[in-house]
Structure 1
Amino acid sequence: MDDLAGFLRTRRSRVDPATAGIPVDSRRRVEGLRREEVAHLSGVSVDYYIRLEQGRATQPSEQILDALARVLGLDDTERDHLRRLACRPRRRVKTPGGRVRPELLRVLGLVTEAPALLMDHRMDVLAGNRLAALLYGRVLPGLNTARHIFLEETERGLYAEWETCTLDVVGHLRLTAGKYPDDPRLASLVGELAMGSERFRRLWARADVRARTHGRKAYRHPLVGLLELHQENFALPDASGMEMIVLSAAPGSAAEDGLRLLARLDADHDAGELLDENRQLS
């Protein structure tokens, strides 16, 4: 699903030659740096770098990887990804899996004023609290958020900043593919998304990687309108590959009022019936 050669090619294509001290004129037709330029700036032979991009070189040293990362302007996430891809033979990593512990479900239930859910490395939602189910308008176990964003909820759906969400999803899946190259379910998901979404195919070809940690998330809920929330990702301290994700609203914000309204509406009516009524009125 991922390889060192492809990653190097996409990274050098995005480097501005001028920032690397290389004069540029109108006759230049290459996007980014040439292979010869990357080799020169990294202090390796042109032949060796070409073999790296062709997947024919032996495992590069840490010094070479550090030099390449510097020339290509990689951030910390991309540097770690480069090292994983460069490992030959690729170290087999056991694919995470297993059941959700009852203690985790208990902790999830303690979060009552913010949507919270448990998600695995494939972006499968394993469990969610009541507000999370209300936010998504469905039972959460069985939902895959990558599939939901690319194949079910398009630009005018639940995700108010859909394009940004697609960048985050593809970056995460690329990173995960580098960590777990032998995961058949992950490979199947990537194939399904590539078949069903032209935007996914274009973004996947860019080979960008992103680590999910925290940030702004905006939702357009059919009952309570725009919800501008803050997402925090808490990686569980075990080998499960799971994360607990909490979507909080700033105190005194319109989003806080929206979540409270959503919770009150659910107390009075079945959430599914409310969604049906809203669709009939729209």
Structure 2
Amino acid sequence: MPSPHPLGDYLRARRELLQPADVALPEGAGIRRVPGLRRSEVAAIAGISTEYYVKLEQGQEAHPTDQVLNSLSRALQLDATANSYLHALAHLPQKPIRPTSTPAVERTRWLIDSWPMTAAMILDRHFDIVATNPLMTALIAGYRTGRNSVAVLLLDADVRELHLDWNGLSMRSIALLRSRAGMYPDDARTQELIKQLMRESERFRELWHRYDIAGMTEGTHPIMHPAVGALSLQYAHLPLVGADDHSIFLYFAEPGTPTESALAALAIGR
């Protein structure tokens, strides 16, 4: 079930991940019966009263000022992405679910099909796969229309075997799902997916309650493909303008590299 107090849950989870040494507090400051910092310690660092902080964690206060949120972000050592998420949790009513623009998605489907050397797929707000192009299918067969990309990564043994940095990729993917789930706490599809992954994925159970947050990023994924061998793929995850909370995920190669030659071989042989 979705939490009735997403802001409080997030504050508590991040507080429990911090150790006294992380904020220059002595380790021996009394017996600690629970992990992480005490509520009073976070409140003191943030410059607010303990009573007010307790209300935030317990959901009795859900709309703190931006000044308070920024102070809490510094106290909890949140990065820019996590800080933005913290502010968004305090303003959830301002982000209603809007209908998807089908024409925008369809035009993007035509676009990715025209890219012979870029593997691409379109994802909806739940990371369900709306469309893939031929090169993505040749590169990672498990990414198929109708499947969920996070579930495939966590549950499909063949896909896991492809990714040489599966641990890092799975951590980022779960953090990205967490960031989306927090924005749509009452979304039925999101809750269905979370329940499935809690049942079926040990990695998901390990990381979900950390409340790690990630945004769309770009970088490099190393892959060992069964047909063309080692690949150092560039990736980008981009929002799709005109289709609310849809996105495009791309794999491509640096020009003149062995990975570019391997992608070309995949494109020809698919």
1:5 aligns with 2:41: no
Q: Which amino acid in 2 is paired with 1:11? A: R
- Which residue is 1:36 aligned to? 40
**In the TM superposition, what is the alpha-carbon distance from 1:7 to its structure 2 partner?**
1.0
1:243 pairs with one of 247, 250, 261? 247
Superposed displacement of residue 66, structure 1: 1.1
The answer (yes or no) to whether the contact 2:105–2:243 under 8 Å persists in 1 is: no
Equivalent position of 1:20 in the other structure: 23
Q: In the alignment, what sits opposite 1:227?
A: 231
2-side partners of 1:263 and 1:154: how far apart? 20
Distance 2:83 2:143 in 1: 38
The 3 A distance-change label for structure 1 pair 229 and 38 is same
Specify the alignment match of 1:217 in structure 2. Answer: 221
Cα deviation digits, residues 173-208 of structure 1 (max 9, x gap): 110011222211111011101111121011101111
Please give the TM-score of this superposition, normalised by the length of structure 2.
0.89
Deviation string for 1:149-185 (max 9, x for gaps)? 1122368522222111211111011100112222111
CA distance in 2, matches of 1:176, 1:186: 9
Residues 101 and 211 (structure 1), Cα distance of their counterparts in 2 relative to 1, 3 Å cut:
closer
Alignment of 1:94 with 2:93, yes or no, is: no
Aligned to 1:53, which of 50, 57, 62? 57
Q: 1:127 to 1:60 in 2, by over 3 A?
A: same
Q: Cα distance 1:143–1:58, how it changes in 2: closer, same or farther (>3 A)?
A: closer
Alignment of 1:83-232 (within 5 A): 83-87=87-91, 90-91=93-94, 93-94=96-97, 97-99=100-102, 101-137=105-141, 140-153=144-157, 157-232=161-236
Unaligned runs of 5+ in 1: 267-282
Q: Counterpart amino acid of 1:5?
A: G
Q: With structure 1 as the length reference, what TM-score do the two structures score? A: 0.85
Q: What whole-Å deviation, never above 9, does each CA across 1:72-112 have from its counterpart, x for those lacking one?
A: 1111211121122223x744511553536432122112211
Q: Which residue identity lines up with residue 202 of structure 1 in the other structure? A: E
Q: How many residues align?
A: 265
Q: Select between 163-172 and 236-245 the one with higher mean Cα deviation.
A: 236-245
Secondary structure of 1:67's aligned partner: helix
The alpha-carbon distance between structure 1 residues 33 and 109, as it changes in their structure 2 partners (threshold 3 A), is: same
Identity %: 33
- 1:76 and 2:80 are equivalent in the alignment: yes
Amino acid at match of 2:84: D
Q: Which moved more, 1:63-72 or 1:231-240?
A: 231-240
Instruction: Give the direction of change, closer, same or farther, for the CA distance of 1:190–1:98 in structure 2 (3 Å limit).
Output: farther
Cα pair distance change 1:264/1:53, threshold 3 Å: same
Residue 32 of structure 1: SS of its match in structure 2? coil
Other-structure match for 2:266? 262
- 1:141 and 1:230 map into 2 onto residues whose CA distance is 22
Unaligned runs of 5+ in 2: none
Q: Which structure would you say has the larger Rg?
A: 1
Give the letter aligned to residue 227 of structure 1.
L
Please give the alpha-carbon distance, in whole angstroms, between the structure 2 residues aligned to 1:8 and 1:101.
36
Further displaced range: 114-123 or 233-242: 233-242
**Equivalent residue letter for 1:184:** A
3-state SS of 1:38 partner: helix
Q: 1:101 to 1:61 in 2, by over 3 A?
A: closer
Name the CA distance, whole Å, in 2 between partners of 1:139 and 1:178.
25
**What secondary structure does 2:162 align onto?**
coil
